[in-house]
Structures are given as C-alpha cells and as structure tokens.
Amino acid sequence: MRQRKVKNLETKYEDYNDILVREPASMHGKWAERASGRPVYLEIGCGKGKFISEMAEREPGRYFVAVEGNQSVMLRAMEKVRAKSLDNVAFVPEFAEDLSDWFSDGEVTGIYLNFSDPLPKNYWYRRRLTYRERLKSYFRVLAEDGTVTFKTDNTGLFEWTIPEIMAADLKILDITRDLHAEAASIEDPAERAAFNIETEYEAKFSGLGEKIKRVVIGRGPERTSAEQHTDTETDKGEPEMKITSMAAFNGRDIPERDRNFTAVGNAKAAIAKKGKEAVVNATVGALYDDDANLVVLDSVARTFRELSGTDFAEYAPIAGTPGFREAVRKAAFGSYEPKSYVGIVATPGGTGSISNAVDNYSCPGDRILTHNWYWGPYGNIASEQGKSLETFEMFDEEGRFNIADFEYKVSKLLRNQEYLVIILNTPASNPTGYSLSLDDWYGVKRVLDGVDLEKKVTLIIDAAYIDFAGEMDEVRAFLPVIDNLRGNILPVIAYSASKTFTMYGARCAAMLCLAHTPEVAAEFEKVCSFFARTAWSNSPRAPQTVIEKIYSDPELLKETDDERRHWRDMLRARGHAFENAAAECGLEIVPFRAGFFVTIPYKDPDALINALGKKDIFLIPVNGGVRVSVAAVAEDKCRKLPAVIKDTIAEIG
C-alpha cells in the first residue's frame, strides 16, 4: 500500500533535526567531519528505512546518508533509526539529481540503489537511476575502490541496466539473478544474515515468489584522457584540443600489448639475428617439423591447388555448404554415430565457435565457467560480451581432474544464473596437454545430471587438438557419455578443421550440438547462424570445399589420415621426451597427456620468460606459469629444454 501523506509533517520533522541535512550542498567536502572519519555510504531512495537502519546497526564503523524525496515515507525511516538509537545515519529529504553538488570527488565509499522506480515508459530512460550518465556521475563522488550496489525485482529494468553499465565503461564485480536462492545456500547463519539485508519492498515481493536481482558495479579500467590541450591555438586564439581516443571501451580492459605476440615477435627477432639453430622458439601454436618449417599436409595443399575459381570465390551458406556440413560431422564424430539430434554451423576457426556459443547461451553479466589453466582468449570473449570468467581448480593435490571443485563451482554459479556456459578444453588442452579420462567424463556427467531441470547448461567441448591427441576412436571415447546427458544440458563441440587439416590461416571450423529434440537442434542452427551473420557473415568457402573433397574421395581421405598420423607420432614423441626429461631433472609440469603444449607452473611467469629470453629460449606466459609449444620444437631440443628451465628457475629464485 502506498504511504499516505502524513499530517503535520514539518512539526514532526522538528524532532529529527539532529539527523536531518536539509541543505546537503552545504556539506560538500565536509561529510568526513560529520561522520567522524568513518567511511560514508549513501542509499538513494531509502523508503521506509528497513535497509538503512539495519545496515547502520550492523556496521557502526560506517556512516550512512539516506536520501528520499517522499518526506512522508522518510519519516518512517527516521523513526526506525531513532528507535535503535543510531548515531551513524543522516537523512536528506530531497530527490538526488547531481551528487557532485552534495559530495566532493572520492567522498563516498559505496552507493546503494534499492528497488528504484523502473520508469517503464521508453522516453523516461534518462531519468532511471541506472542510466549510463547517472552511473558515471556516481563514480565521480565515489572513492577509487567505491562500488554501486543495485537491487531490483524488475527483470526488465535489471536487463536494461546491464548494457548501461557497459556503456558507462564500468565493471560488473558481482551479479545474481536470484539473490535469495544464493543466500539460502549459505550454511553459516551469521554469514547468511550478513549476505543481504532486505528492504520492506523486497520482503513483500520475494514472499510472493518474485526473484530478486542484484549487481555490484565497480570502476572501469583507467583510461587516458580523450582530450588534451596542445601548445597551438585555433584561428580564434583558443587552445587547440588534441583528440587521443575515439573508442567506446564498454568496460573492457584492453591491454596496450599482447604478451603472446610480444613473445612471438622476440623469438622471430632472435632467429633473424642468430639463426634457427641458435634459438628455441616454443611460442608458436602450430605444428613445425624438425627443421622449423610449418607442417602442411601434402594432400590438403594439393587439394587446395586444384580448386576452381568458383570453389573459393563463391559465397558459402552461413551455416556452411551442405557437403562441408556432412564432411565435418564425420570428421568431428569419427566412427561414432550420435543418438541425439545434431545441429551444425560453420565458423571461421574454433574461436568463432566458442564466441558464438557463449553469446547465444548465456546472458549479459553471467560468469562463464572453465578450468584455471585455460586459453587466454576465453577471457577476451567473455569480456567482449559483457560477461566474465569463473574458474575451478583443474587438478587436485594428487594431480587428478578436480571433479569436486568443478561440482562446487557449477552449483555456486547456478544459484544465481538461469543459464550457465561451461568450457572444457579437451582432449590435449591448451595450455596443459591434459585430456579428460573416461572416469573424468563420468564425473562431469554425474555433476550435470544433478542440475535442476529449470536451469539450462551449455557444455562447450573445445576439441581444437583432438586429432593430434591420439587415435581417432580412442580420443572420441567420451562422445557416448555426453550424448547421454539430460535435456537441459546442451553439449556443443567446437571442432577446429584449421588445426586438424593444417590450414591455420584458412580459418575453418564448425560448432556441432547434441540436442535431445529436433526443435533444440533447429534452434541452435537458427540462433548461431544469426550470430554468424552479424559477426562475420559467411565463413570462407575454400577450406570447406577442400574438406568436402577429401571426405568424398576414400583414397584421398586415407592419404590425409596417414599423413596426419605420421606428424601426430612425431608430436607425441616430442611431448613424451619433454615429459620424461622433466621428470629426470625434477622440473614440475602440469599433468600432460598429449598435444601441442606442456605447461610449467611458476609464480612469476614474466620473470621466467625474460630470463629464458636472455638464453634465446622463448616461451609463452600464462596465468600461473609458462607454456612450451612442443609442436614447434624438435625432439632433441625437447629433451634438453627441461633442464635449462629448471636451472633458470633456480637462478631467479
């Protein structure tokens, strides 16, 4: 029920003059003095005061400023504070417009926006408290580490707010679309009570079954000013402005340089100066022979050369040519015939498959789950779409796949997300070379079988290196396991034909789903084709035609498979040579099975990279260690390299 106007309001307000700030502009820059040095927190729209009074009671070391334009409503809030004898709350009986009029820069530590008016008419959007310009204004008065916490039951307003946060170039620090479900899962009563304080409105509508949403917003990455004064003047004698930035960063943290490409560039420079033999270039994520020449399957190169102009010049259908779709299904599944309904969409490389799936099967602000040893662009993909990564520990203390932490993180994320995308990079993961065993896969299945049927999970298997991980049927032994998941779990295989057929620059891949119903498979092709149309339109036709021709000619297919097997055996020998040499010299490596890469855990990857670079050994830094591309290093060097790395670690400490 709406609060009725209180009679004799001004008279009743006289009793609260000690906690009323009727002229907040007069307090500009003076709030710390009033707060006796305590950090200042602000609630815009305090309503009847349940939240602010309980927060102030719980946090006596903080000072709270409650703003409310409805003075009859605010009277009830002041009554609650007075009843609790609190001395750390002040009330401002006004509507908040420009907080910079009331607070100086950095004067506020946190701002709460609880159940703000959604103002549903489209032309009211600038008045909403989470409009991008308002969000920016909050951070002008917030401290460097200050945050804005927004709660609402209004789904439309919440989902509208997420892109506004991005447009304001701010960061989502925490998000939940079911706050009370997350709170209920906290076992410790004290921790659960501290997790969330309800407002009157919240208690009422959550009791009616409404899901409460919450997002915590932080300051975005520091940017260089887009405008700078120069020493020159315009024709009118005014200082000329130099524009230094035009990009809308949307909260993304884009580094000045890519550490991987820097390492690759340093290796190439050393080779140009000293020659291939004097340098160990273990930076490249492609297969090279023992003479450091890029491996290209002869059968594939020949088929490329035999293409007609139409074969590569004509547009391919967005989802892929019919012949390619048939061929890539055989390539991805091998001899296994799925029981599920299969949807297929072509993409320009495996990165395209992952980006497409993340976009279509998760919501803005969601966390994408993957293992803590992961390929760096996963984070870029998530960030680009207004999402973020959550990781589970890939290995337990005994070096086994950590199914317990995987289960914990799945449960944690699904408490506050309706959708969850999981990325597992296997077989032969980048950067570790680890492949999930059948026991690991049955553990994953057990966890996913326990997911609430109302939740939707998309399991992306990034199988980029599958055909260099072992024999075809052996490395696909997991397919029957994921082909037998429940209907609310959608497996999607990101299959990189670019790597399988050694045509990296041709950018050819496909995403294949295993759906319980034909409707879900058809929807998969529809939504993923729509994303493709807006992101890159058509994938290149030439590599699709090459793969179609290979699979339509049994002799050519056998030739291609035999060639690949030869190079795979070479790669396997290199990997195990490195693994055995590491064991002999006592160099710790992350559990390895097969593939292009081995990873060494180390506390300061950049320091190790720099030290090895002085010895003309070039590796790639990853979070928590360094990656060695055994795909690019001859077997004899793979035997020698672990001891050098071990000695270098000892030298730098």
Q: Where are the alpha helices (DSSP H) in 536-634?
A: 541-551, 554-585, 605-613
Q: Is 452 left (phi over 0), alpha (psi -120 to 50) or beta?
A: beta
Residues in the chain: 653
Q: Give ∠ CA 509-513-517 in degrees, rounded to 5.
A: 155
Q: How is residue 17 annotated by DSSP? A: T
Chain centroid offset of residue 421 CA:
10
**Element spanning 79, H or E:** helix 71-83
Provide CB contacts within 8 A for 447, sequence distance 6+. 403, 406, 407, 410
C-alpha 174 chain-centroid distance: 13
Q: How is residue 70 written in tokens?
A: 């409805």
The DSSP secondary-structure symbol of 425 reads E
The single-letter DSSP state of residue 270 is: H
Helix (H) or strand (E) holding 397: none
Measured torsion, CA atoms of residues 53, 59, 63, 66, in degrees rounded to the nearest 10: -30
328 with 547: CB under 8 angstroms?
Answer: yes
**C-alpha span between 327 and 260 (Å, rounded):** 33
DSSP codes, 496-535? EHHHHTT-GGG--EEEEEEESSHHHHHHHHHHHHHHHHHH
Q: Where in 255-400 does DSSP place strands (E)?
A: 280-281, 341-347, 367-371, 388-392
E strand segments, 105-166:
108-114, 142-152
Cis omega (within 30 of 0) on the bond before 221?
no
Q: Which residues are catalytic?
A: 117
How many other β-carbons are positioned within 10 Å of the β-carbon of residue 94? Answer: 17
Say if residues 466 and 430 touch (Cβ distance below 8 Å): no
- Please provide residue 489's backbone torsions phi and psi, each rounded to the nearest 5 degrees: -115, 125
**Calpha distance 358→376 (Å, rounded):** 15
DSSP state for residue 89 in the 8-state scheme: E
Number of Cα atoms under 13 Å in the Cβ half of residue 487 = 7
Mapped to the 3 state alphabet, what secondary structure does 473-497 carry?
HHHCCCHHHHCCCCCCEEEEEEEEH
Distance from CA of residue 322 to its chain's centroid?
33
Which segments within 244-394 are labelled E, that is strand?
280-281, 341-347, 367-371, 388-392
